[in-house]
Amino acid sequence: QVQLQESGPGLVKPSETLSLTCTVSGGSVSSGSYYWTWIRQPPGKGLEWIGCISYSGTTYYNPSLKSRVTISADTSKNQFSLKLSSVTAADTAVYYCARSTVVKFDPWGQGTLVTVSS
Amino acid sequence: QSALTQPRSVSGSPGQSVTISCTGTSSDVGGYNYASWYQQYPGKAPKLMVYEVTKRPSGVPDRFSGSKSGNTASLTISGLQAEDEADYYCCSYAGSYTWVFGGGTKLTVL
């Protein structure tokens, strides 16, 4: 079955760019019908959809984050990535990657905590 | 794009039924039959429990059921068990390839 695993720095300085990668196994990021998604959860708070990339490379972003977010895919490595620029403490969160369709997010990666602090 | 509204907490005794509501607008919950529900244990990733308002993935007990009326989607858990104690999040497609989550509901099994 499809499995996803997030990786990247756990600590990022304010004003810098957060970069995370999601490695997909058991499936292909270039397979049709799926979107490859990033979702985050600040400590003790709810889930927030960040954005996604389609199998064809089209990207869609949360309007509230759109100016700072870039999602890309590397089909040769079967990975997709998140870049979030100009981070502040408010961007401290557990970041999840997930496979999605219009109707569901499933499965999810285990999540990775990113702390924004100097 | 505002978060969907869920009660912060609900509770019930073993064997009872509880319902968690998720209220949005005609631009998200009310406009599409694409509401989904996720169960999350502390420190763990969310798990899909219901999608397309009423459908259950393979392996999810039929004690979990979903419904929708107008701009409000609901998750009902019947025959409550101790293992159901968790946080639950709703989500809806909001058009233009965007999605919105609810704020989450903490379920306590008394």
Tell me which residues of chain A have a C-beta less than 8 Å from any C-beta of chain B.
35, 39, 45-49, 52, 60, 62-64, 96, 100, 102-111
Cis link prior to B57 (omega < 30° from 0)? Answer: no
Which pLDDT value is given to residue A95? 98
Residues of A55-73 as b/e, b for ≥16 C-beta within 10 angstroms?
beeebbbbeebeebbbbeb
Interior angle at CA A104, CA A18 and CA A76, nearest 5 = 50
Closest Cα in chain A, distance from residue B101 (Å):
6
Which pLDDT value is given to residue B2? 86
Which pLDDT value is given to residue B28? 96
Which pLDDT value is given to residue A33? 84
- Closest by Cβ to A108, choosing from B1, B46, B93: B46
Taking CA atoms, what residue in A is nearest to B100? A49
Taking CA atoms, what residue in B is nearest to A45? B103
| C-beta atoms of B46 and A103 within 8 A | no
> Over chain B, what is the mean pLDDT?
97
Residues of A in contact with B98 (CB under 8 A): 49, 60, 62-63
Segment A70-116, tens digit of pLDDT:
999 999 999 999 999 999 999 999 999 999 999 999 999 999 999 99
Q: Which two tokens stand for residue A96?
A: 């999840």
Which pLDDT value is given to residue B1? 74
Which pLDDT value is given to residue A48? 98
Segment A36-46, tens digit of pLDDT:
999 999 999 99
Q: What is the CA radius of gyration of chain B?
A: 13
Segment B64-83, tens digit of pLDDT:
999 999 999 999 999 999 99
User: Is 80 exceeded by the pLDDT of residue A32?
Assistant: no
Q: Which two tokens stand for residue A16?
A: 């810098």
Residues of chain B with pLDDT under 70: none
Which pLDDT value is given to residue B108? 98
Taking CA atoms, what residue in B is nearest to A97? B45
User: Is 90 exceeded by the pLDDT of residue A58?
Assistant: yes
In chain B, which among 1-40 make CB contacts under 8 A with chain A?
A: 1, 3, 34, 36, 38
